[in-house]
Amino acid sequence: MKFLTKTIVILSVISMMTDISSEMLYPVLPMFLKSIGFSVLWIGILEGFAEAIAGFSKGFFGRMSDNMGKRVPFVRIGYTLSSISKPFIGLIAMPVAVFFLRTLDRFGKGIRTAARDAILSSETTNEYKGRVFGFHRAFDTLGAAIGPILALIYLHYYPENYVSLFILAFIPGLIGIIFTFFLKEKKSINTSIEINKTKFLEFLSYWNKSSKNFKKTVIGLIIFTAINSSDIFLLLLVKQQGLTDSDVITLYIFYNLVYALFSAPMGWLGDKIKLKNSLIIGLFLFSIVYILIPLVSTNWIYYLLFSVYGVAISAIEGNSKALVSNIASKEETATAIGFLTSFQSLATLLASSIAGILWATVNPNAPFLISGLVAFLCSVYFLVVNINPDYAIKNNQLAE
């Protein structure tokens, strides 16, 4: 495939191994957290707070990466922190410690995300961005399917033995760390700014000089993220409807397999019909799933809705980053992606916290129905708003 390079493949393998590690734990995390004293509300706050920490770090380290003209150190350190934090969650198993370690895991993600996506963007041209981000997302999500399969096999023989599972999850994470040492830094893209001049909230200034296209794109994506709560709530919902732990994990594996299978094709589709149009399809499908899922209670319908959900997320995730990377200038790609993902993480804090509150105080169905409605409105927003990612760079900005 002419759009692939050695670096893209290595980054994809690293993401896959790290996701195997993470997703060995993710489906059992709600049960584990409940077993050590977390309520549904506190699970939502934990997930939201961890994402908020990741959010500010994405913006800061994205800007620092652009300022330094380096990507690889951020990728290596970020993946290392995320991998080493996981076994200690199971070993310590105390609410305060779990809160800190889960946050450290997300902090590692914050360090690496913008730099990694900037590397992916720099490895290809605009016409192949959807395919590159889709290919990477496919490997990432394949890991998200393999991880729960390994967890399901393990828990079959050792039911509810969560502590050992947390320790075993470190092995694929370690493999991912090793692969980061095969990455090679390209020639510095920017050496005019020193690292000590990167201020904590410096990335926020990017909004003032960014293009109208960037602003319109970010507004729509952040509104959507503000209602897109953690997938943990989806797992809790189907669990509440009577599914066993094994059923929940199997359903989650199925979703991730669909997600992985459609990530590359949806990236290809985005390149062919425009990234924005593929994003609109994803948002519309997302709205259908969230409106319908609290209204059903049959296993085969859950599988149908989770398959549609996998297609929806595959259309949204890769294509949204590809769209932003096409809008941003090459010298500030990490800053642009860091800005977006920072505010998306803060929006996730809002989404997960509100979902937890609505679940506990109104009705478990309420957060899903509201999310579905807003996602539909977001699809309409992107349908009517004019966003043209074809740009000419002038003074490091999008020519308007």
Query: What are the start-end ranges of the E strands in 197-307?
Result: none
Confidence of residue 280 (pLDDT cuts 50, 70, 90): very high
Among candidates 233, 238, 231, 254, which has minimal Cα distance to 148?
A: 254
Instruction: Name the CATH topology of 6-184+203-398.
Output: Growth Hormone; Chain: A; (1.20.1250)
Would the pLDDT of 25 be above 90?
no
pLDDT band at 20 (very low <50, low <70, confident <90, very high): very high
What letter represents residue 372's amino acid?
A: G
Summarize pLDDT for 80-112 with one digit per residue, the tens: 999 998 888 877 877 788 888 888 888 898 899
Q: Which residues of 257-292 are buried (b: 16+ CB within 10 A; e: fewer)?
A: bbbbbbbbebbbbbbeebbbbbbbbbbbbbbbbbbb
Q: In this predicted structure, what is the pLDDT of residue 398?
A: 36
Domain segments of the chain as ranges: 6-184+203-398
Question: φ, ψ for residue 397 (rounded to 5)?
Answer: -130, 165
Contact assessment for residue 21 and residue 307, using Cβ atoms and an 8 Å cutoff: no
CA-closest candidate to residue 27, choices 168, 167, 233: 233
Residues pairing with 394 in the sheet = 397
Rg, Å, the chain Cα set? 20
Pull the structure tokens for residue 50.
Answer: 């961890």
pLDDT in tens, 288-334: 999 999 988 788 899 999 999 999 999 998 899 889 888 887 788 88
The pTM of the full predicted model, rounded to 2 decimals, is 0.80
User: What is the rounded average pLDDT for all residues in the chain?
Assistant: 85
Q: How confident is the model at residue 396 (pLDDT cuts 50, 70, 90)?
A: very low
Query: How far, in Å, are 73, 75, 175 from residue 80 at the CA level?
Result: 11, 9, 10
Q: Which uninterrupted H or E stretch holds 398?
A: strand 397-398
